[in-house]
Amino acid sequence: MEDQRTCLILYNSWGSGQNATVADEFEATNNDRSEVEYLRAVIKDLGFSVRVMGVRRFTAPTVQKIQDINPDVIFNLCEAFNEESIGESYIAGFFELLKIPYTGSPPLALALALNKKRTKQILKSAGIPVPYGVVVDVEEAPNLEDLTPPYIVKPIREDGSAGITSKSVTSDTDEVIALVEKIHKEYEQAAIVEEYIEGRELTVPIIGDKHPKVLAIGEMDFSSLPKKDPKIITYRGKWDAHDPLDHNYPAELDNGLQKRIEKIALKAFKEIGARDYARVDIRLAENRRPYVIEVNANPLISPEAGFATAAEISGLKYKEVIQTILESALSRKK
């Protein structure tokens, strides 16, 4: 009889991986670990022996425990390393060193996706439309000569909409300077100032590795926002437990436009080097031109998340999603 395979679910036990200097941002995803227990049951139902580890920091005892478990595959839900999102790729690199197959994107893709400057450079060089913008390094002032207002100002390497508020979109140069200085101070990193694309915001979930496919496209519902606020996903809007912004699935798109968006999203997915599952966020300008604004190589895949909703609409049950991801990871076992 074949031995039962072991799957280790690994996740950050606290913190969202956001900059530790912004204390209130730890609570938003602290308790958002409902997927762990649900995932345990699903993977067990798929025939695996399941172990679960919530890690705060990667220390020698942590490494030893993983080696003692000796899993056949790791389901990687980690979003940070030592409480910093920039280290998300280090964890995947650690799995590579241990030669343990793991779910999700490899180190390079995770690092690139988190760096908005590098992502834009790669996508632009591949002919994928992205908003025009400039990077403002720490202690430097923004040069807006080549940009057309309004502008949107964001940290260069954060995820989960960290650092984005309703004030992040402005046409006022002084306000841009103040926003950049705030990011430099609070996040200790460069800021990026982009031309703000007015229009619809779409999210394109993708599943698979060698033959990735697009799931149902979603559209962000901004109807609950005050009329004076820009139609963007702020940190509060994304993580507010009482009234979070949400997507509508499937987005209403004509066939030609949908095909174009799917093609762009798949190309962005491949150019960044993502695998297993990811999400490409697109801003659709009023002239129907799609602009890629982010490639999320490690999106939330809890059963309540948009990814699972998109999969179900596309005919994939949650169990099938997890099975597809695990099989993809195991196929890379050396």
Number of folded domains that form the chain: 3
Do 124 and 273 share a domain, yes or no? yes
Q: What is the pLDDT of residue 188?
A: 92
C-alpha 193/C-alpha 179 separation (Å) is 10
User: Does residue 84 share a domain with residue 166?
Assistant: no
Looking at the fold, whether 122 and 248 belong to one and the same domain comes out as: yes
pLDDT at 79: 87
Residue found by looking up tokens 């960044």 in the block: 272
For residue 147, the model assigns a pLDDT of: 96
Residue 60 lies in a domain: yes
Domain span at residue 90?
Answer: 6-104
Task: For residue 35, report the phi and psi dihedrals to the nearest 5 degrees.
Answer: -70, -20
Q: Which of 151, 171, 195 is the last residue of a domain?
A: 195
Same-domain status, 92 and 117: no
Q: Would the CA dihedral through 221, 225, 230, 233 be positive or negative?
A: negative
pLDDT of residue 16: 39
- 56/117 same-domain check: no
DSSP letter (8 states) at residue 102: B
What's the CATH number where 21 sits? 3.40.50
Same structural domain, 315 and 258: yes
Residue among 203, 187, 206, 190 at smallest CA distance from 311: 206
Q: What is the pLDDT of residue 35?
A: 76
Please count the residues of the chain: 334
Q: What is the CATH number of the domain that holds 293?
A: 3.30.470.20
* CA atoms of 211 and 192, how far apart (whole Å): 33
> Given this model, what pLDDT does residue 18 score?
40
Q: Are residues 234 and 251 in the same domain?
A: yes
* Pair 116, 154: CB distance under 8 Å: yes
Q: What pLDDT shows up at residue 20? A: 36
**Residue 210 and residue 167 in one domain:** no
Local structure of residue 197 (DSSP, 8 states): -
Please give the average pLDDT of every successive group of 10 residues along the chain, which has 334 residues. 84 56 36 76 96 86 92 93 81 94 97 93 97 95 95 90 91 96 94 96 96 96 90 83 80 97 98 97 95 94 92 96 97 86
Residue 1 lies in a domain: no
The span from the CA of 49 to the CA of 170, in Å, is 52
Report yes or no: 299 and 205 within 8 Å, Cβ to Cβ.
yes
Do 253 and 171 lie in one domain? The reply is: no
Is the same domain home to 321 and 207? yes
The answer to whether the beta carbons of residues 297 and 113 sit under 8 Å apart is yes
Task: Look at residue 233 and tell me if it is in a domain.
Answer: yes
